[in-house]
Structure 1
């Protein structure tokens, strides 16, 4: 017997506890209902503040962003494509700044595999570990207070150290993207990202489509400061309009 709506939505909430990202097709198959039924459920649950809709699925609500370890299991294929599409933007760079996050770790793996003779400045342990596979890349790990949930170093020491550095390009992730710009769930992270963007000749944001039209606590830049957005689906609506007006080029992976 198919579960009624209440039971079905309860199962969806239970699934979000173990898998912070859900797909419509997979939910429909698991619960034995049509994809249209699942989409209606997700729309109702979004209106109730229980989750957030994405293209093709749903994620946890804004106040409970997954940890970086959980995010590493989400949208892996999309993030790999984004990382590969980012590499051509870095061909002429000799000094890079990489922010923290699961997508930037994918970028770091691509850099380690395909580029050489670089200096990379980062505050992310995951990024530093990925780069260690390439002995021609010199990694400068920034100082700061360790944030275990993000695997990164943050705070005043991080920002002060960055003020004396300069790079050809900064590559940053984001918790959310909207017409106002990229945002982060942690104000401490946003403060570091803002400084990173200011210390490079150009800045690139790398983020998958699940971040579209999601607004978090702290904006770290407006789109005029971002040269490229590398993503896996073309933005639409107000965000797409603002990207065009700001001169931010969208690169699809």
Structure 2
């Protein structure tokens, strides 16, 4: 027979499968235990690599990337703040490249409301859809093989197409922000991001605090290639030192 702690921790993982991001207080209420008990459980589960701690809560482990639809349910208020902060940085831009992801969709939605007379190249259907509300924004969809879980195109055709264009800014999300650079769980998309970085005068990464100090399989740039990081909490320690060394401006929403 399983011990109460094992049963409780299974319940926590099941709850996170249903709601990928939960606060400590909400988990304590659902499981009818103290917040201190939940914090101890979260620490143990984090140590086992089964989830990741956040400020005041936890998210399901992202060692593999959930679909973009699932990611839209995570850190919504943080991503909205990031989007509001990122768009003023684009003042004067006429051509943008925007990568796939939930945070970049928030940025694109804000661009559609606040900017006009732009050309935007994107491989992400979600980005293209939210930009479509603004008739002054010309959207160019990048061709390629369709990756259903990400709602985006990738592959040789996408990369070849991008190489014929130049942008004022590239805007990208990330699965992780490690000491060597931003990385992504999706190897297929990382090659597209790498090309977008090379074809833009400036590159902005938009990523919430849960991505700090995390490493995923495909690094798409080094920090020397990135001009600004827009995030909801400042990075600290070695990661922050890397930003200082390579001139990455942290813009905190």
Q: Please classify the TM superposition score into its range, dividing by the shorter chain length.
A: over 0.9
Q: Deviations over 1:214-252 (max 9, x none)?
A: 211100011111100001011112111111111100111
Q: TM-score when scaled to structure 1?
A: 0.95
Q: Deviations over 1:35-74 (max 9, x none)?
A: 3322221111111122222333222223332210011111
Q: 1:199 is matched with which residue?
A: 199
Moved more, 210-219 or 99-108: 210-219
Q: 2:64 is matched with which residue?
A: 64
Q: Does 1:9 align with 2:18?
A: no
Q: Deviations over 1:5-44 (max 9, x none)?
A: 2221111011121122222222123223333322221111
Q: 2:30 is matched with which residue?
A: 30
Task: Map residues 194-233 of structure 1 onto 2, 5 A cutoff.
Answer: 194-233=194-233
1:62, 1:216 within 8 Å by CA — same for their partners in 2? no
Task: Map residues 3-152 of structure 1 onto 2, 5 A cutoff.
Answer: 4-152=4-152
Moved more, 121-130 or 235-244: 235-244
1:190, 1:219 within 8 Å by CA — same for their partners in 2? yes
Deviation at 1:177, TM superposition (A): 1.1
Q: Deviations over 1:150-178 (max 9, x none)?
A: 00000010001011110000000011112
SS at match of 2:242: helix
Deviation at 1:4, TM superposition (A): 3.1
Distance 1:62 1:72, change over 3 A: closer
Instruction: Mark the runs of 5 or more structure 2 residues left unpaired by the alignment.
Output: none
Cα distance in 2 for partners of 1:116, 1:8 equals 52
List structure 1 segments (4+ residues) > 3 angstroms apart after TM superposition: none
Moved more, 43-52 or 226-235: 43-52
For the aligned residue pairs, the C-alpha RMSD in angstroms reads 1.3
Q: 1:186 is matched with which residue?
A: 186
Q: TM-score when scaled to structure 2?
A: 0.95
Cα distance in 1 for partners of 2:235, 2:209 equals 8
